[in-house]
Amino acid sequence: MKITRFLTLPQANVPTLAPLSKEDKILTKSLHECKGYNARQFITEFPDKGWTKNCINRLLVKLRNGAMLTGSVMRIFRHFR
């Protein structure tokens, strides 16, 4: 017996998700900080990217917590801990 997976209609139209590129992260950071974009706005503004709400929300949390700092800044912070 062969088991197959059936895709529902919304899943059939979504491209295979890839990790966010460096350019995508920079774009997300600037639009979130400058214009206050939230996950829903990113998804509606860039539907061809195939981003999920959860993926964007995780990135926005990292941005808010300062986890996306550059390497040199992170080394300075580690030094003063």
| Whole-number pLDDT of residue 5 | 58
- Cα 55 to Cα 28, 46, 52, 59, 63, distances in angstroms: 11, 14, 5, 6, 13
| Whole-number pLDDT of residue 65 | 82
| Whole-number pLDDT of residue 25 | 86
What stretches in the chain show pLDDT beneath 70?
1-19, 67-81
First vs last C-alpha separation in the chain: 59
| Whole-number pLDDT of residue 4 | 59
Tell me the average pLDDT of the chain: 74
Residue 28 CA to residue 81 CA, distance in Å, equals 29
| Whole-number pLDDT of residue 64 | 83
